[in-house]
Amino acid sequence: MICSQIDVKYYDNFQLSNYNTLKIKSTAKNFFLPDNSGELITIIKKFKNENPIILGNGSNVLFSSKGVVEPIIHTSKMNSINFLGSTLEVDCGVKTGYLSKFALDKGLSGFEFLIGIPATLGGAVFMNAGAHNQTISDKLISAKVYDIENNKTLNLKKQELGFSYRHSILQEKNFVLLSAKFCLDKDTKENIKSRMDENLIFRKTRQPSLSTPNAGSVFKNPKDCEYSAGAMIDKCGFRGYRIGDCEVYQNHCNFIINKGSATSNDYTNLVFEIYSKVKQEFNVDLTPEIIYIGKKSKDEEEKWKILKN
């Protein structure tokens, strides 16, 4: 379908179950598929007052089972990579697994950790995604972002992006990542492939497979704490614990998997119960990595207000 007001494909009442890694069934009132940053900016400007949501691979998000009224803009078609020597300029919609393999093909090291992360570059930069003692910000030089409030495109250097653990300035400012530039290290393909294989083996033994519906790590690891979030959840007896079709993953308690027909309410109730028990046992306020999108019931509203404090 073509929107009559802007020349871009969009869909009404679009089913989102295949557009979030938790596989929650939810319906978007409007779903847009821009081909490039120009179209993306045009959609944002047109629907600015409706708080449009930029969606990549749909990891680290929980869609409401009641649906999403805000316009959703999906970046999957914004997937170009420009390669020059050791430098890559990457569009926001490029999937991280593909980016890792692209770097391998060019004999460039620094993206090995991305092979097991189900995200797009936009989401990875937004969250400063990391694994195996590496983060997406390590090799980043600069980023091109759209400043919604001031209606202009900015080129920000790494030090202007406010990176820290699972954090970037994109979470504070009304900025949308368009692309980012990286400088990687040259290495042999054999060495790079070996590290990628090690990372995949680690993921298979510790985390749900990419085909198992989950939204990624549920909670951030707390600072200055003896235990990780997963260890505390495990010590509270949640391994394998289930509410509805949401279950705490047996091999790593900081993951919740969808056993078939999980709802946002199932997920919310399980996350809140875990948060409350860890608070009681360890006096630690766990902070969710997950972002809730869409209509909330009164009960969900109250629980997420507490979870986000």
Residues classed as catalytic: 166, 217, 289
As given in the structure block, the two tokens for residue 241 are 């614990």
Residues 215 and 256 sit within 8 Å (Cβ to Cβ): yes
Q: How many CB atoms lie within 10 A of CB 77?
A: 15
Helix then strand then coil, % of the chain, to nearest 5: 30, 25, 40
Which of 97, 45, 96, 101 minimizes the C-alpha distance to 73? 45
- How far CA 237 is from CA of 111, 182, 193, 248, in Å, comes to 35, 42, 38, 10
Position of tokens 């020349």?
7
Q: What's at 176, amino acid-wise?
A: V
Please tell me the distance from the alpha carbon of residue 300 to that of residue 64, in angstroms, as a whole number. 10
Note the Cα 82 to chain centre separation in Å: 23
Please tell me the distance from the alpha carbon of residue 239 to that of residue 163, in angstroms, as a whole number. 32
Which of 288, 160, 155 minimizes the C-alpha distance to 221? 288
Please tell me the distance from the alpha carbon of residue 114 to that of residue 100, in angstroms, as a whole number. 6
Collect all residues with Cβ–Cβ distance below 8 Å to 79 and sequence separation of at least 6: 91, 93, 94, 95, 98
Collect all residues with Cβ–Cβ distance below 8 Å to 242 and sequence separation of at least 6: 248, 259, 270
284 burial type by CB count under 10 A (0-12 exposed, 13-18 middle, 19+ buried): middle
Residues 248 and 256 sit within 8 Å (Cβ to Cβ): yes
